Amino acid sequence: MRLRTCPGPAEAGVLLLHGGRADGLDAPSLLNLPGLRMRPFGAAVLRASNGHAVALGEVRYRHRGWNGDRADTVRDARAAHAELTGTHGPLPVVAVGHSMGARAALRIGGDPGLSGVVALAPWCPPGEPVAHLAGRRVVLVHSDRDRITDPAGSLHFALRARQAGAEVCRVVIPGSDHAMLRRAADWHGLAGRLVAGLLGLADLPADIAAALAIGRHGNHGLALPTPPPTG
**Which residue, 76, 84, 88, is CA-closest to 17?**
76
pLDDT, position 31:
76
Please check the confidence at residue 98 and state whether its pLDDT lies above 80. Answer: yes
The pLDDT confidence band at residue 30, using thresholds 50, 70 and 90, is: confident
Residue type, 4: R
The pLDDT confidence band at residue 214, using thresholds 50, 70 and 90, is: confident
The pLDDT confidence band at residue 2, using thresholds 50, 70 and 90, is: confident
Please check the confidence at residue 95 and state whether its pLDDT lies above 70. Answer: yes
The pLDDT confidence band at residue 231, using thresholds 50, 70 and 90, is: very low
**Which residue, 127, 98, 92, 82, is CA-closest to 40?**
98
The pLDDT confidence band at residue 223, using thresholds 50, 70 and 90, is: low
The pLDDT confidence band at residue 222, using thresholds 50, 70 and 90, is: low
Question: Mean pLDDT throughout 197-225?
Answer: 77
Please check the confidence at residue 27 and state whether its pLDDT lies above 70. Answer: yes
Which is it for strands 114-120 and 137-143: parallel, antiparallel or unpaired?
parallel
Q: How far is CA 61 from CA 72, 97, 200, in A?
A: 8, 13, 28
Alpha carbons 11 and 94: distance in angstroms, whole number: 12
Question: Would you give the DSSP letter of residue 6?
Answer: -
Alpha carbons 198 and 177: distance in angstroms, whole number: 25
Question: Mean pLDDT throughout 161-169?
Answer: 95
Residue type, 127: G
120 neighbors 150 (Cβ within 8 angstroms):
no
The pLDDT confidence band at residue 213, using thresholds 50, 70 and 90, is: confident
Please check the confidence at residue 41 and state whether its pLDDT lies above 60. Answer: yes
The pLDDT confidence band at residue 84, using thresholds 50, 70 and 90, is: very high
The pLDDT confidence band at residue 225, using thresholds 50, 70 and 90, is: very low
100 neighbors 91 (Cβ within 8 angstroms):
no
For the chain, list the domains and their CATH numbers: 2-217 (3.40.50.1820)
Please check the confidence at residue 146 and state whether its pLDDT lies above 70. Answer: yes
Task: Tell me the pTM.
Answer: 0.92
Alpha carbons 210 and 228: distance in angstroms, whole number: 18
Question: Mean pLDDT throughout 27-55?
Answer: 91
